[in-house]
Structure 1
C-alpha cells in the first residue's frame, strides 16, 4: 500500500481511549453491560443478570468492541477485554477488527458510486466491464446474463458461499486465481439461472471486486479508500490485504471458540469485497449514519438520497443492494453480520430513525454474548431489534424424535446441509457449511427453538406423516436426504 494511502487512512486518528459516552449516558450504559440475561429463557427457570466481563470469560471470548447510535450521534463506544494475548494488549475503540461479510455492504457502495457516475449499468451483463477475467459462459448465462444488481443481492447464480482465508505468510492468490479455483476454494461459476433465486455468494462479490478494479484501473482497496472510506471519515478502515505491517499494532488477533489465538494471529483474505475490510465499530457507525442521513434527503460524501433509496429497496427475499433488510414494528432495518476466522460481527440500524448499534469481536464464540448484549441495548433504548424469548419446552414422542434425526439439504442448493442429532430432550443442529453447532428444544410437535439465538425451525411432514423437511426461520427449506 502506498504511503499516501496509508496516511489517508490513519494520519487523523479518531479516538485513543478505551471508551467514550456522553456524560448523561455514561452511568446508564454501564448498567446495560452489567445486566445481561439469556436471549432464550425456559419457563419455570430463574435467571440472574450477569455482567459483560463475566460473560466474556464464560464463553471464551477474549474481546469485544461496540458503538451505539442515538439521535444521529455515537453516544456510547467502548472496548472490552484483550486484543492480543501474546502482547497483553487491550481492546480499545481504535482496535481494528476484520469485518467479515460486513465488508460486502460497504463494498457495494463503490459499485453504486460507479453507477451514479455513469461508469456502469447495474442491469448490464458484467462481462462487458470485466477485462482481466470473464464469467464463464454456459446455458444459464446465455439465458440470463449476470448483472451487478444480482451480485449485490446474491441472485446471480454464482457459486462459493464464503472463504476460509489464508494463514499469514502463505502464498496469497490473486482475484483471478480465486475465481479460477486456484486458491483454497473451488472454481466460481454460474450453476443456476441468474435472477431466479437467492443464494448467498461471496464468489459473486469477488467478481464485483474484480469489476471495480477493471473499470477504475485502480486496485480495489485504493478506489474504495478514495471514493468511499475517506469521504465518509472512516479513517480507521482499510481493505488492504494483507494488512500492512505498520498497522499490526492496531489490529486485534483472532481467536477460536476455545479462546486460543489462531496461528499467525489472523488470516489474510484476498477476497476483499467479500471479507477483507479491517475497521472499527465507530467507523461502521459513520457508514450507518451517512446512509440514514442520505435516506432522509441529505447527501453525505458519496451517498446521495437517490443512491440511499436505491440501496435500501427490498429485492429478492430480504435483501437490498448490499445490506440485508428486515421490516420491524418500529420500521425498516438494514443490517448485516460478518464472520471470518476468529472474528464475529453484526450491525443493525433503522432506515428512518437515526439509531443503531455495531458489535465487533475477536472470537468464534461470540454468538451468545452478542444476543444478550443486543437485547440489553435494545431494551435500554426502547428499540425492537431483538427481544428475549420465553419458551416452554416439550418432549417429542419417541418415534417422532427419532425420525427427526438425520441429514437435510437446502432445496435450492444441496451443498448447504444440516445434520440433526439428539441429546436427551434436546436436538443438536449442525450447520455443516459453517461448522456451527446449535442446541434446540421442541416447543410444539412441529417447532424447534434454538436456545442461544432463538431461531425457529418448522418440521414439515408428508401425506404419510413422515418428516420430509425442516424450514429454517420460515424462509429456507431443507429437505431430508
Structure 2
C-alpha cells in the first residue's frame, strides 16, 4: 500500500473514533438542532395522540384518543394551537379546514374570532388608560362618561358603579353576552347597544343588582367600558386598541375592526354550527367590540400571555406596569380579576379566558412564574369539548398542575327517574333540554354546542358528564315535582328553570 493511502486511512479512522468519543454536550450546532427538533416533534405527537375527556367513569378502560378522530367526532373543521413553554412560543400548529366548501386548509395565520377573550385585551387597554391618568379605576363611572350615562335607580343610588367593578363583572350590569349580526344586517352604534334600541338585537344594559354585591358575568358591562375607553382616548375603539395593545405586543394578525376589513377576510376561518353547517355569511359581526369583537390567531394571543407573564415578573411594561399586572391577576368577586379568570395555585397563578361566538370557540390559558401557557382556537360551536380534551393532553405532557383527568363513580340509570327529569328548561336565558332514552339521560344546550351529552347518575337527582367537567343537580318543589336544576362548572353555579 502506498504511504499516502496509509496516511489517509489513519486519518479517517482517527476522525471516526473522535466522533464516537465526543460527548453529547459537545455535539455540533447542527446535531443539537436536529436533536431538539426530533424531541419537539415527539412531544407534539404525544399531545396529538393523548386526548382524553376531562372526566371518566371509574372502572372504564383508559383510552387516549388522537386529535384527528376527535375533530371528526365533534365536527370541528379546524383547530389552531400555540403552545408556550419556558417563556416562549415553543410550537404552533393548525389542523383541518378553515373553509370546508373551498377545501381551504387552516394555517397558523388563519384568523378566528376570539369572542370573550376580547375582554382580557380590552381590560389591558382600559388599565393602560388608568396608568396614563385618563381613567380612574375607582369612583363613579358616570363621572367618566359624557355621551351616555348608566341609568340611575335604587341599586346605583345605594352604590355607584366603578370601572373596577365593570372589569371584574361585579357591577350588577345586565346582558350576559351578544348574538352578533349576519353580514349585511344594519349594525347598531354603541349607544344603541347600550340602550337596546334597534337595530340592536340585545336588551338594554342596566344595573339590576347592588354594585359590588355579587359576581355575575356581563358582556354589557364591557360595552360600558368600551364607551369609557373611546371617550377617554379620543379614538375609535379599534384604532385605540391597535395603538395601545396590538401594535406594542406585535399582534400583526389581529384587529378589533367591525366588520372585518376585506383585506383580512380571505384569511378568516368560516364559522360552523354544531351540525357542521356553515354560518350564513361565513361569520357574524360583533360591534360590541370590547366584549367580543377581536379577530386574531393563537400565536398573536400567545403574545398576550407572554406579556402578562413578563409584566407580572417586572420584565416588561409594554401595556401595563408590574403593579397593574398584579392588580389584574388579583381576584375581586368570584374567580375573576380584571379581565381574566384567576386561580392561585401556590407556586404560580393561572390566568385564563374562554370565548364563544356564533360558530367559534377559543381558550387562552397562562401561568405566572412557570412561563407556560396555551391558546386554542376552533371554528365550531362544538369546539369547547375538543379544547377540554386537548388541555388534558397538554397538561399531561407538560406537567401542568391543572386539567388532570378526573374519575367519578356512576350508578346504574333508572328509566322511571329519567322520565320525570326529562323536559324543557331555561339556562342563562337560553333553552336547555333534558332527554330520556330508557336508562340513559342526556343534556343539550346551545351554550355547549349542538351535540347531546350523556348524564351519568350519582344519585336520583345528581348527575355528571364526561364530555365536559360539568355536573347537574335537579331541584324539586314543595309537591316533589322537578322545577329546575343547578349546573355546576368549576366554582360557578348556574340555575335553570323548567318550562315544560
Q: TM-score, normalised by structure 1?
A: 0.88
User: What is the SS of the residue equivalent to 2:458?
Assistant: strand
Partners of 1:22 and 1:75 within 8 A in 2? no
Among 235, 257, 274, the alignment partner of 2:274 is 257
- Is 1:231 the equivalent of 2:245? no
Structure 2 counterpart of 1:109: 124
Unaligned runs of 5+ in 1: 1-20
Structure 2 counterpart of 1:219: 236
Give distance in 2, aligned partners of 1:254 and 1:480: 30
Partners of 1:290 and 1:303 within 8 A in 2? no
Partners of 2:80 and 2:95 within 8 A in 1? yes
Give distance in 2, aligned partners of 1:432 and 1:81: 23
Give distance in 2, aligned partners of 1:257 and 1:432: 8
- Is 1:135 the equivalent of 2:150? yes
Return 159-168 or 298-307, whichever deviates more: 298-307
Q: RMSD over aligned Cα, in angstroms? A: 2.5
Structure 1 counterpart of 2:318: 301
**Cα displacement (A) at 1:150:** 1.1
Among 88, 93, 115, the alignment partner of 2:108 is 93
Higher helix share: 2
For 1:247-275, what per-residue CA distance to the aligned partner results, in whole angstroms no more than 9, with x for missing partners?
11211111111222211111110000000
- Give the paired residue count: 458
For 1:310-337, what per-residue CA distance to the aligned partner results, in whole angstroms no more than 9, with x for missing partners?
0000111100000111244764211110
Q: How does 1:261-280 map to 2 (within 5 A)?
A: 261-280=278-297
For 1:349-369, what per-residue CA distance to the aligned partner results, in whole angstroms no more than 9, with x for missing partners?
112321011100111111232
Among 339, 351, 362, the alignment partner of 2:368 is 351
Structure 2 counterpart of 1:15: none
User: What is the SS of the residue equivalent to 2:225?
Assistant: helix
Give distance in 1, aligned partners of 2:145 and 2:436: 49
**Cα displacement (A) at 1:415:** 4.3
Give distance in 2, aligned partners of 1:431 and 1:329: 35
Structure 2 counterpart of 1:393: 410
Partners of 2:415 and 2:439 within 8 A in 1? no
Among 466, 472, 475, the alignment partner of 2:488 is 472
User: What is the SS of the residue equivalent to 2:303?
Assistant: helix
Structure 1 counterpart of 2:207: 190
Partners of 2:415 and 2:440 within 8 A in 1? no
Among 138, 146, 151, the alignment partner of 1:123 is 138
Give distance in 1, aligned partners of 2:70 and 2:209: 44
Larger radius of gyration: 2
Structure 1 counterpart of 2:384: 367
Give distance in 1, aligned partners of 2:494 and 2:369: 32
Give distance in 2, aligned partners of 1:435 and 1:388: 22
Give distance in 1, aligned partners of 2:272 and 2:66: 21
Return 430-439 or 360-369, whichever deviates more: 430-439
- Is 1:286 the equivalent of 2:303? yes
Give distance in 2, aligned partners of 1:163 and 1:37: 31
- Is 1:208 the equivalent of 2:225? yes
Give distance in 2, aligned partners of 1:132 and 1:438: 46
**Cα displacement (A) at 1:372:** 1.6
**Cα displacement (A) at 1:398:** 6.2
Unaligned runs of 5+ in 2: 1-35
Distance change (3 Å), C-alpha of 1:201 and 1:29: same
- Is 1:321 the equivalent of 2:329? no
**Cα displacement (A) at 1:470:** 3.0
- Is 1:33 the equivalent of 2:48? yes
Q: TM-score, normalised by structure 2?
A: 0.85
Distance change (3 Å), C-alpha of 1:32 and 1:266: same
Partners of 1:143 and 1:193 within 8 A in 2? yes
**Cα displacement (A) at 1:404:** 4.2
Distance change (3 Å), C-alpha of 1:171 and 1:97: same
**Cα displacement (A) at 1:347:** 1.4
